[in-house]
Amino acid sequence: MQKLATWFRDARHFQILYLSLFLLFGIFALQWAGQDFSGWINYAIVIAACLLTQAVGIHFTTKDYRSLKSALISGLGLSLLMQAGSVWSFALAGVLAIGSKYLIRYHGKHIFNPANFGLVAAILLTGLIGYAGGDSFQSDVWVNNGKWGSSLILFFMLGAMGFLVLAKVKRMDTSIAFLLTFASLIVFRDLVYFGDPDPRVPLHTLTNGSLLLFTFFMITDPMTTPNSRKARIPWAIAIAIGSFILIQQFKIFAAAPIYILFAFAPVTAVLDRFFKAKKYSWYE
């Protein structure tokens, strides 16, 4: 019973289950891996890259191999959100994601959400490599908005399970603040500013798998969000506003929140200095 209680105490177990179920849903129900299941290689590579990089980091630092669970979460998150033209880009994203945890730190806390950093860094790096080779800035990595489709059933599945995970990591305030702000801006834009009377228009935008995964998985990472609730709520609202502005300016819906979170990540360290609160621990 004590071992079972310890298992339930670690919220990462619920995150792994949550992300694994939706990856399997994507592979089998939405056929992400293709008819010949060749896409399995991409997912295996990015997850293996995360786990191996984390294992190396653990070996030279804490020796606590329980944190391999965090690397698995990052690998699953990248599998769900990223698309790439080559298997090497998947490997690159995994290495960059976990490497950022050990190389970019402040006061004992890594600054960037690993999956967020790995995805954005891989987009920028592969684009720069192509540009240096004489081509236009065409990245080999991207966020695919369309691979999830837009289904109310998927929305409720992601949402219901997402709130269960948020209850464990104690970051429901962050998710609600972001989603309410972002949804309000989208609804105002479509129904009021553009005057479209059909409520299905904003609903189609908001029931997107990539947005929901960002809301319930990426922006709520307890290790890279502000420690204090007083800081988390305005932080999440600012990310929602920034995402909306980026969408309006550049029409990049799927990637907009991911880019804004990347840009806002260093702000967390500043907020933690001014709003003192206990640092989150997976084992409490």
Share of the chain above pLDDT 70, in %: 88
For the CA atoms of the chain, what is the radius of gyration? 19
This prediction's pTM: 0.92
Residue 106 DSSP symbol: E
Phi-psi region of 108 (alpha: psi -120 to 50; beta: other; left: phi over 0): left
**Is 60 exceeded by the pLDDT of residue 4?**
no
Both tokens assigned to 182: 């972002």
What pLDDT was estimated at residue 201? 78
**Is 90 exceeded by the pLDDT of residue 195?**
no
What pLDDT was estimated at residue 7? 66
What pLDDT was estimated at residue 14? 86
pLDDT digits (tens, 9 = 90+) for 262-281: 999 999 999 999 998 988 87
Of residues 131 and 68, which shows the higher confidence score? 68
**With helix as H, strand as E and coil as C, how does 208-263 read?**
CHHHHHHHHHHCCCCCCCCCCHHHHHHHHHHHHHHHHHHHHHHCCCCCHHHHHHHH
Label residue 134 by pLDDT band (50, 70, 90). Answer: low
Q: How far is it, in rounded angstroms, from Cα 217 to Cα 19?
A: 9
What pLDDT was estimated at residue 142? 92
